[in-house]
Amino acid sequence: MAAAPTSSVHQCGKKDILRLLPVNVYGRRSSFCGIEKKSEYSKSQQQMYRGLCLRPMAMAATTADLDGREDGTVNPTTTGLKSHHRPSKWRAISFSFDNQVQERYGEAVEVLKEDVRAMIIAKDGKPREQMILIDTLERLGVAYHFKHEIEEQIEQIFKSHAKDGSDSDLFTTALYFRLCRQHGYDINSGIFGRFKGKDGKFEKALTSDINGLLSLYEASYLRYHGEDILEEATVFTTHYLNEAKPQILDPYLQAKVTRALKQPLHRGVEKLESRYYISIYEKNESRNELLLKLAKLDFNILQNLYKQELSELFKWWKELDLTTKLPYVRDRVAECFFWGMSANFEPEYSFSRVAVAKAIVMITVLNDTYENVSTLKELEIFPEIVQRWDTKDNDQLPTYMKIAYEFLMSVYEDHDSRVSKQGRSYAVPYAIKTMIQLAKAYHMKAKWYTGEEIPTFQDHESNGAVLSTIYVLLSSYYIGTESALEETFVWLINRPNIVDAVGLLGRYVNDIGTYERECEGGQQSTTAIDCYMRENGASKEETLHKFVEFSEGTWMTINKEWVTASCVPRDIMKPVLNIGRVGDTTYKSGTDGYSSPESGLEQDIFALFLNPIDI
């Protein structure tokens, strides 16, 4: 076999630039700590942002201006404001809910769950077998049914392995390391040192152990800053797994290796990866038929629920008729819901999923308005009016901006009506603040693109986390989460390290994925990539590789924060990581899967929302 390469970043081609972005998924979290002040808002300020739109939404203006019709819509014929993106293919597809599926499959799932629960808590289970069982449940997407039992098992495994796990093989050691870090235990990466030879490199004999290599490969994506041994492990395992893949005779093992090399487990969207793993697990001759059946039934139940949520979203979108009123806006409702589902796939988080989807629709309207039709003069007015968050000054806006602004207000009005009934009237004012911050960030970006100001790379970095939209997305998610108390929003508004890191990661992968599109039209080069090239005398290829390094740095920060920031409950932290993961999936390999879903996201949407699994 050829020697393993020594560098993982600088040997990536353009289509591989996102292959090195690790992500952590699970973690143990308790209660909040470290938040002393309740809020930077006074009660009068909170009241200012509540009530908002205590009137029916007026999506159409009453007078026409140069860029609008009398009915308030934008005339694409006279203005040339048609979207240059491909129309949505999903509007003609029926996403229908089948109540019989829920009832029939639901009863079967309840019976199977009890059998699986007994397997998890079995007292005669050995740590290695229990870890394999837990890993299988998580990969199949059904571990959420057994959260308490799994946490208890992980704690016992952590304690027992710490005492007598020093002689475990590579597969077991790496699986132990990965599961513990996923669940919030700060395992020292030094445990892999014994698999190195006297020359300080991983032993060549390991290359014949494909299961061990694969286990180490997945574990290596949970590394922190300074964990060189895990960076070496990524390079070592990637090289030898690629080399061995054509010779693997076991269909199950070959499928696992192929999927892992395409999508490391901790960078993938949870439910999407479970859908693919169900098909892979079927190839396993030693598979547990009970687990497989539970996974298939549960997937179809959740898919049926997602169809219902999507159907309601499409009805909402159709009633708004924004594709007519604002024809330049991308029509991407299914893709928006894919992000919402990725934030949390579990059934009880339906409101949160839909809230995130609507937030991305809002973001798309705002972004496309700024990028496609606004003049600099109009851009000066818009953020000022958004800051006031009142319809009284709407006459200062051109028709299309009125439509966009009143649409944003209507969404938050609907949310406010719902959460007020839950006694959570504090939620929406915080969310509005994040939208105002985003509008200001878009305004700054527009100044750069129109040439009024020439940005530096540091300007992009400073604006990056907000421009990533992470704060708008999370505040919307927490609106839909009843367990998100006011301290959750205070924590978010105070910009915790993990959220900023996920935001910057989102900017880096987005910058890479959208670079070619943003350079079209011969406009002045003001993207973050262009600024970095100019300031550092770097080529485009060198800069793209550098952005991969930046992305890896943010993931290492995220992984460390995930394990060590034990003050924040898991149900609050989990969507932060999951939004980072869906960003990686959407902009994988330097593509823009949101604007151009045919580049990959389209088949994922079919797999998750349209094609049930045969039982």
Does position 43 have pLDDT exceeding 50, yes or no? no
Does position 67 have pLDDT exceeding 90, yes or no? no
* Poorest-pLDDT segment among 42-46, 249-253, 283-287: 42-46
* Poorest-pLDDT segment among 55-69, 180-194, 548-562: 55-69
What integer pLDDT is reported at residue 543 of this predicted model?
95
How many angstroms separate the Cα of 288 from the Cα of each of 119, 282, 358, 566? Answer: 11, 9, 39, 35
Does position 23 have pLDDT exceeding 70, yes or no? no
What integer pLDDT is reported at residue 164 of this predicted model?
59
DSSP reduced 3-state for 157: helix
Q: 175-179: which pairs have CB atoms within 8 A and are 24 or more residues apart? A: 175/131, 175/132, 175/135, 175/215, 175/219, 176/127, 176/131, 177/219, 177/222, 178/215, 178/218, 178/219, 178/222, 179/131, 179/134, 179/135, 179/154
What integer pLDDT is reported at residue 431 of this predicted model?
97
Compute the average pLDDT of residues 29-52. Answer: 41
What integer pLDDT is reported at residue 165 of this predicted model?
57
pLDDT category at 89 given cuts 50, 70, 90 is confident
Identify which of 3-12, 349-358, 458-467, 543-552 has the greatest average pLDDT: 349-358
Indicate the CATH number for domain 321-610.
1.10.600.10
What integer pLDDT is reported at residue 46 of this predicted model?
41
- C-beta atoms surrounding 387 within 10 Å: 12
What's CA 28's distance to the chain center, in Å?
A: 20
Does position 3 have pLDDT exceeding 60, yes or no? no
* Poorest-pLDDT segment among 132-141, 247-256, 381-390: 381-390
What integer pLDDT is reported at residue 370 of this predicted model?
85
Q: How far apart are CA 427 and CA 480, in angstroms?
A: 9
Burial grade of 447 (CB within 10 A; 0-12, 13-18, 19 or more): middle
- Domain positions in the chain are 99-294, 321-610
Compute the average pLDDT of residues 492-519. Answer: 90
What integer pLDDT is reported at residue 65 of this predicted model?
32
What integer pLDDT is reported at residue 37 of this predicted model?
42
Does position 82 have pLDDT exceeding 70, yes or no? no
Fold exhibited by the domain 99-294: Glycosyltransferase (1.50.10)
Does position 22 have pLDDT exceeding 70, yes or no? no
Compute the average pLDDT of residues 8-34. Answer: 36
Compute the average pLDDT of residues 32-41. Answer: 44
> What mean pLDDT value characterizes the chain?
85
Q: How far apart are CA 300 and CA 317, in angstroms?
A: 25
Does position 124 have pLDDT exceeding 90, yes or no? no
Does position 310 have pLDDT exceeding 50, yes or no? yes
